[in-house]
Homo-oligomer: A and B are copies of this chain.
Amino acid sequence: MQRAADIAEGILAGRKIALARMISWAENSDPRFPAALAELYPRIGRAWRIGITGPPGAGKSTLTNALAIKARAEGKTVAILAIDPSSPFSGGALLGDRIRMEERTADEGVFIRSMASRGSHGGLARAAVDACDAMDAFGYDLVIVETVGVGQAEYDVVAAADTVVVVLCPGAGDGIQAMKAGILEVADVLVVNKADLDGADRLISDLEEAVHTRGIRRDGDGDGDGRWAVPVLQSVAMRGEGSEAILGAVDTHREHRAANDAEGVRRKKRVAQVRRVVDERLDEELWGAGGLADRAESRLRDGATPYDVADGILAEVLGARKHAR
């Protein structure tokens, strides 16, 4: 039974096995995680966190790999957290890329970890942010979180990053769909990967038009006064092309943030993490073993509607809370 203090110490001493253990604690909601985090907390905040998302097949893994190689060449250390798709219908295809990336772990300046999103029932974003905190405390310069852009949980994971890179590729109408669905609104940097394919020019100009004409200019969270002009970049990640420009855009975004309440933006993202921790524990307390399910079932058996039953539960929980204030 390892103690939280030992793991924290291991991380500060640069032992990857301690980092891996701490991330497992995050994934498993191990009670030792918060204690280890508390010890490491003063060391957190130095890393810049990049969230990478996009549709299946856009080449996110390849691009992540290319960015990691480029960042290493620039002397930066890199930790990668790859969220495996939660969709039962889109999983699996990334495994090959993953394995190729794992080969890079011989490099001491790179750390790669994957986290399954399926079955996480809402705890995914909380665990992913916890894992990034651990990677950050370890001392990596860049923390890259990569996720397929499906579902609310994956969105939450990416939205927790400092710079969000949305990767699209020509074909399948993804660019248009992304625009319609508002995915551009989360992007700080847009990348058209596979830019050597037919249709890339069209997609790039469509995206540029959307960014400029439709006025999609934002500063990340809508806070602060600074407006950020989302750049539309291109890459051929398979050949490493475009990585330098993308990392440059990330740096520029970082500087933009530094001039526009970077700490305030990060604190807002951290409030979201508090909320996830609270929600997860409330859920366990109210609906876990010995919770309210049996009582709810019995009231339903008596003919109460779900809203009637919920009202009773809420009156008890919130009534008590209000009373306590």
Contact = CB atoms under 8 A, between A and B. Distances in A.
A38 interface: yes
A56 to B, nearest CB: 7
A310 B173 contact: no
Contacts of A278: 286, 292, 310, 313-314
**Copy count, this protein chain:** 2
A323 interface: yes
A7 to B, nearest CB: 15
Contacts of A150: 86-87, 89-90, 150-151
Given A271-B296, A273-B306, A297-B271, A281 B314 contact: yes
A303 interface: yes
Interface string A300-313: 11010111111001
A124 to B, nearest CB: 9
Interface string A277-303: 111011101110000110011001101
Given A271-B297, A301-B267, A316 B306 contact: no
Contact of A41 (B267, B268, B303): B303
* A interface, over-half SS: helix
A91 interface: yes
A214 interface: no
Interface string A16-51: 000000000000000001100110011000000000
A90 B96 CA distance: 23
Interface stretch (A175-183, A189-197, A234-242, A245-253): A175-183
Given A92-B177, A267-B297, A271-B293, 4 more contacts: A89-B183, A91-B180, A92-B173, A277-B310
